Amino acid sequence: MKIIDYKQPDFYHFSEDSIIFAKKVSTLFKTAHSNVLEICAGCGVIGSELSNLIEINQMTFIELQSEFDESLGSNLKNFCKAKSAKYIIGNFLDLNISETFDMIVFNPPFFELKEGRLPSDFRKQQCHFIKQMDFDLMLNKAFKLLNRSGIIYLLMRVDSSLLQKTKLKFKLEMIEHFDSKNGVFRIVKN
């Protein structure tokens, strides 16, 4: 598998699962998607990879952490093949977004704040840990941003308590379990 040399902040390193996720999602579509959103974009690997695999007119990336600003901007310029691309640094829940999307891809932090030992580096904490309540709010907002035939795909750890609790509120369909711990899910509101 060819991995592009994406620019990343020094405290963060994306993993191959982002590329596998983008490839899998790209195989699920027979037609081009004109408006795609990536939530928790990090340095933009998933959306950029996806834009190289399917035709995308508008690709929007949203990332909470300002530390990703430089990397995300550089990666969009150098690797994103969407006809138009933009990124926003900010809290997804606080953003006023008027667009609707054909597809939303989402690689949320894998762990709840209560799970495991928190890294001493706060930037790493934000990359790997999330509150269940915030995650639920993000999914509810994401559903409001979908157009009528739009769909949400998640990359999540199959053994996470976050996933198990999410299954209680949303219908999750596992598309593929691609290694010992990660899976691609399509999500539908109950």
Q: pTM of the predicted model, to two decimals?
A: 0.84
Give the position of tokens 């640094």.
Answer: 89
**Check whether domain 32-94+107-189 has CATH 3.60.20.10, yes or no:** no
The full set of domain ranges for the chain reads 32-94+107-189
Cβ atoms of residues 122 and 11 within 8 Å: no
pLDDT by residue, tens only, the chain of 190 residues:
455 688 776 766 667 888 888 999 999 876 666 899 999 898 899 999 999 999 999 999 999 888 889 988 999 999 999 999 999 999 888 999 999 999 999 887 665 556 566 556 655 555 555 554 577 888 889 999 998 888 999 888 787 777 777 777 788 888 888 777 778 888 876 5
For the chain, give me the number of helices (H) and strands (E)? 6, 9
